Amino acid sequence: MIHPSYGIGVLRALLRGAVSDLGPPPTSFTVLLDSNAASVTQDAIESALGELDLPIHLILWEASEAKKTLSEAENLARNIIQLGVDRESVLIAVGGGVTTDMGGFLASTLLRGIRWGAIPTTLLGMADAALGGKTAVNLPEGKNLVGTFHHPLFVICDVNTLATLPARELTSGLGEVVKTAFLSGEDSFRQLEEATPSELRQPGDSLLTAVSEAGRTKMRVVEEDPEEHGVRKLLNFGHTFGHALETAAGHGNLAHGEAVALGLRCAVRMATDLEIAQSGVAARLRSLCAKLGFPNEYPGTLPGIQELCTLLSRDKKVHAGNLDLILPVEPGKCLLLRGVETQAAAEVIHKEL
């Protein structure tokens, strides 16, 4: 496995260091840049890469979940090939989770695989989406159903790029921060409980600590299990429920982090019903999600049991039609419950939401 460098600090300095340590010298750089992130990243990126005196191909892309598709991947791939890349070229994906997912997917398939790096500019990307080498595009049937494992050479996070992020996007990213803090243990989870929402929504010590802890926790898990055969499954805490709800709501109606937060509520509800969760854990998770501004119910009309069963059955971790679910016991401890029927999971969603 490739062990990526994971840097938190000033974008220009970190990028200069990362590209100087790429192994075989690159022949060119292709920068897939979310147009929403251009104002806070483009100058620093062009300055850092410009010192290397190599061709730089900049592709401004209007990223959105609705454009994370195979047809859009083909359009971008053709554009990149026409720019003249070769197998020693390096792709750098700059933006939110949609952009790093798409950039990693392109890098994994272009010319049977080229090197890439990620510069996430959303809290969701810094805390989760850009880390771990999972790349994917969506199908109408669900999120991230076509993808690869292709680990980036570097992941660079500069929390100052979050200053212009819309409030809803910041809150969405906190969904992954809550998940990772719970997995990390009591100290991380309590630290998040004690932080004020305003501190976590602006560049500063609290946000820097939250991003650092989330990123390094995930990287430790990924290094132990890079392709999700064992302990990495824990990172799916809240996601099986959340992905089904996100798909049902349609693009833009339920942000990913919002869906994860609802998924955490469903997971702790099932854990409580099965007497797996320790006393007080459900109340703490629900209270933290509410404090951070997450919805406590599904937007609109909740899909029926059968529709939810269909959506849950498309989860990538399904085995023989049944689910593997991560259920919380206490901060720092979760259990993998295998062979859960989709009907049982759908009923939990209806109980909780």
Do 100 and 237 lie in one domain? The reply is no
- Residue 172 belongs to a domain with what CATH number? 1.20.1090.10
Which position among 236, 246, 258, 265 bears the catalytic label? Answer: 236
Residues 230 and 300 in one domain: yes
pLDDT digits (tens, 9 = 90+) for 290-323: 999 999 999 989 999 999 999 999 988 888 889 9
Same domain, 149 and 284: no
Q: How many domains does the chain have?
A: 2
| Model confidence at 2: pLDDT above 60 | no
Catalytic residue among 176, 213, 246, 352: 176
**Does residue 218 carry a catalytic annotation?**
yes
Query: Is residue 1 predicted with pLDDT exceeding 50?
Result: no
Residue 291 is a catalytic residue: no
User: Cα–Cα distance between 89 and 271 in angstroms, integer?
Assistant: 47
Is the same domain home to 188 and 280? yes
Catalytic residue among 67, 151, 179, 218: 218
What is the per-residue pLDDT across 12-23, written as a single tens digit (0 to 9) for each? 999 999 998 888
Q: What is the pLDDT of residues 84-138, one digit of tens each?
A: 999 999 999 999 999 999 999 999 999 999 999 999 999 999 999 999 999 999 9
Supply the pLDDT for residue 251. Answer: 75
Q: Are residues 226 and 156 in the same domain?
A: no
Whether residue 331 has pLDDT greater than 50? yes
Q: Are residues 100 and 146 in the same domain?
A: yes
Residues 259 and 290 in one domain: yes
Catalytic: which of 134, 151, 284, 286? 134
Task: Check 65, 169, 213, 228 and give the catalytic one.
Answer: 228
Is residue 256 flagged as an active site residue?
yes
Candidate list 67, 115, 179, 243, residue with the active-site label: 243
**Averaged over 72-94, what is the pLDDT?**
97
Residue 177 has pLDDT above 50, yes or no: yes
Same structural domain for residues 153 and 231? no
Domain boundary at 131, 162, 193, which? 162
Q: Are residue 79 and residue 213 in the same domain, yes or no?
A: no
* Catalytic option among 62, 112, 229, 275: 112
Check whether residue 171 and residue 155 sit in a common domain: no
The answer on 204 and 309 residing in a single domain is yes
186 is catalytic: no
Whether 134 is catalytic: yes
284 is catalytic: no
Q: Is 236 a catalytic residue?
A: yes
Q: What is the pTM of this model?
A: 0.89
Average confidence (pLDDT) over 189-196: 94
Which of the following is catalytic: 115, 151, 256, 265?
Answer: 256
Residue 239 bears catalytic tag:
yes
Q: What pLDDT is stored for residue 342 in this prediction?
A: 97
112 catalytic? Reply is: yes
Taking only the tens place, the pLDDT of each residue in 200-235 is 988 888 888 999 999 989 988 998 998 888 899 999
Task: Report the CATH number that the domain containing residue 157 is assigned in CATH.
Answer: 3.40.50.1970
Q: What percent of the chain has pLDDT over 90?
A: 80
Q: Which pLDDT score is estimated for 3?
A: 57
Question: Is the model more confident about 81 or about 3?
Answer: 81
The pLDDT of residue 33 is 98
Does one domain contain both 46 and 86? yes
Query: Does the pLDDT of residue 65 top 70, yes or no?
Result: yes
